[in-house]
Structure 1
Amino acid sequence: MTFSICVRERYTDDDGDDQIRYGVAVTTRLPGVGTLCPFASADGAVATQSLVNVELGRKGIAYLGDGLAVDDALESLLNADEGKSQRQLHGVDADGTFAFSGEECNDWYGHVVGENYTVAGNLLTGEDVIDDVAAAYESDAHGEAPLAERLIDALAAGHEAGGDKREDLKVQSAALQVTNTDEATDDPYYNDLRIDASETPIDDLRETYETAKRGYETVMEKYADE
């Protein structure tokens, strides 16, 4: 399942309270990745890939909600998984990061762990893919653009570096999710987007994001006084 990024960002809301936003984004040369790989909540973000075990993502997010640290939560799930050697699993919570790549994942595979993010990929053209994803995110971390937009930029950087090496598979997909700890703020409509089947998933994800963002802003303006 190609490559993905999980992110944690701290910020101050309009009332001066400390908050955290989490984001996860992924793309692959298979359809429907948004149903399988990315998971996010107000407690963290998790991505499960390679020979996908969706329960690792679902249970990982649930464990974070129960108060487990991300490394304890994901490590415990992997230890109970007979297919551990073929899995990639990574994520972030409020305080920590975790990334794992099993020794039987398909080359090129690997991961990068930054101070507030993780990146992982498999079946890639090379290590440059995840390095460029990480570099693109780091270059604009906490930038003025919404996190969803910056996650798309990170995916685009990985694609430009070579991305998924299976060029014979034309039908691809991409997805992103962004959540935050601020209960008083509704997530915008453009914080949970998927392109399930396309030959240009990252471009389509960007276009969908820009259209959804424009629509959200129009709605907010129209009903500002209500």
Structure 2
Amino acid sequence: MTFSIVARQGDAYGVAVASKFLAVGALVPEAGPHGAVATQAWGRVAYRRELLDALADGQSPEAALERCTAADAGSATRQLGVVGAEGAATFTGAEAPDWAGGRSGEADDLAWAIQGNILAGEQVVEQMERTWLERGDLPFEARLVAALRAGDEAGGDRRGRQSAAVVAHQPGRGYDETGVLADLRVDDHPDPVTELTRLLDLHELYFGLPGEPIPLTGPLAEEVRRRLAEQGRTHQDLRAALTDWAGEVNLEGRLLPDSIDARVLQMLRERPGG
């Protein structure tokens, strides 16, 4: 009833998952500084902490997975994906509902485990893997969601759609350097992967790094001054007016000295009255 990608890129770990199941993000995925895990089919939530602790202790994903499933009387009903510093592993129990299966691999600084059950067919995991490998142009968390979308478009969960989630961790990144690159859930929606993509775009807007700076001079500076005035920011100092407005719309993290970020400019132009 669920399909997921668990992956590493450099020192970033994450999971993207979708299902015809309420709030899949509350049960299936977890990521931290030493690895990432997805537990699904007849998921056992305790696997998340057990496997991440094993990875933190230096066990390989294969060894950690084998040890946990061997001790679990219900392992035939489980499906798991595990990625750590030493590779990736996927497991599908013999009693996981058809179509069920997965694939894992490593290449350069990447490792991945892709798995699903009650799927439209094997093409779901095939398309997810292909997209994951092809979309190296994207930020890590967006790359995960792109792979998830590919699986959804290939048929996904054959019962339909309901929820999706992405969690990603990278040391020193995220808000206040917590390491949380993304932690987003769509709990109940007719098109959850599309909605998750929208939320991730907003997350990048508010918490992502500024893009290429555009010099705030000449006609552009006058345009920005006028648009800020239409928003009620009439300070004579342009930087003070922009800082005041950015603080209200939660874009202060994208401010640049003597320049403006392209997405900040776009949002200013799209605001009513701007």
TM range (shorter): 0.7 to 0.9
Select the residue among 16, 21, 26 that pairs with 1:30.
Answer: 21
Over the aligned positions, Cα root-mean-square deviation in angstroms equals: 2.2
Q: CA deviation at 1:211?
A: 1.2
TM-score (norm 1): 0.87
Q: CA deviation at 1:93?
A: 0.5
Q: CA deviation at 1:67?
A: 2.5
Aligned length: 211
- Matched-pair identity in %: 36
Select the residue among 125, 140, 145 that pairs with 1:130.
Answer: 125
Change (3 A) 1:72 1:219: farther
8 A contact 1:174–1:205 mirrored in 2:
yes
Select the residue among 179, 185, 198 that pairs with 1:194.
Answer: 185
Higher relative contact order (CA 8 A, sep 6+): 1
2:207 counterpart residue number: 216
Deviations 1:178-217 (A, max 9, x none): 1124479825776111111111100110111111211224
Q: CA deviation at 1:98?
A: 1.1
1:175 counterpart residue number: 165
8 A contact 2:128–2:147 mirrored in 1:
yes
Q: What residue identity is the alignment partner of 2:113?
A: T
Q: CA deviation at 1:146?
A: 1.2
Tell me the distance in 2 between the aligned counterparts of 1:46 and 1:90.
6
List aligned pairs for 1:41-56, cutoff 5 A.
41-56=32-47
Q: Any stretches of 5+ residues in structure 2 without a counterpart?
A: 209-250, 258-274
State the SS of the aligned residue for 1:114: strand
TM-score (norm 2): 0.72
Select the residue among 152, 162, 170 that pairs with 2:155.
Answer: 162
Change (3 A) 1:82 1:213: same
Q: What residue identity is the alignment partner of 2:164?
A: A
Tell me the distance in 1 between the aligned counterparts of 2:169 and 2:199.
18
Deviations 1:152-203 (A, max 9, x none): 1111110111110113xx5x11111111244798257761111111111001
1:7 and 2:11 equivalent? no
8 A contact 2:17–2:165 mirrored in 1:
yes
Q: CA deviation at 1:33?
A: 0.7
Q: Which range moved further: 181-190 or 52-61?
A: 181-190
Tell me the distance in 1 between the aligned counterparts of 2:189 and 2:51.
29
8 A contact 2:170–2:179 mirrored in 1:
no
Tell me the distance in 2 between the aligned counterparts of 1:30 and 1:188.
28
Q: Which structure has the larger Rg?
A: 2
Higher helix share: 2
State the SS of the aligned residue for 1:191: strand
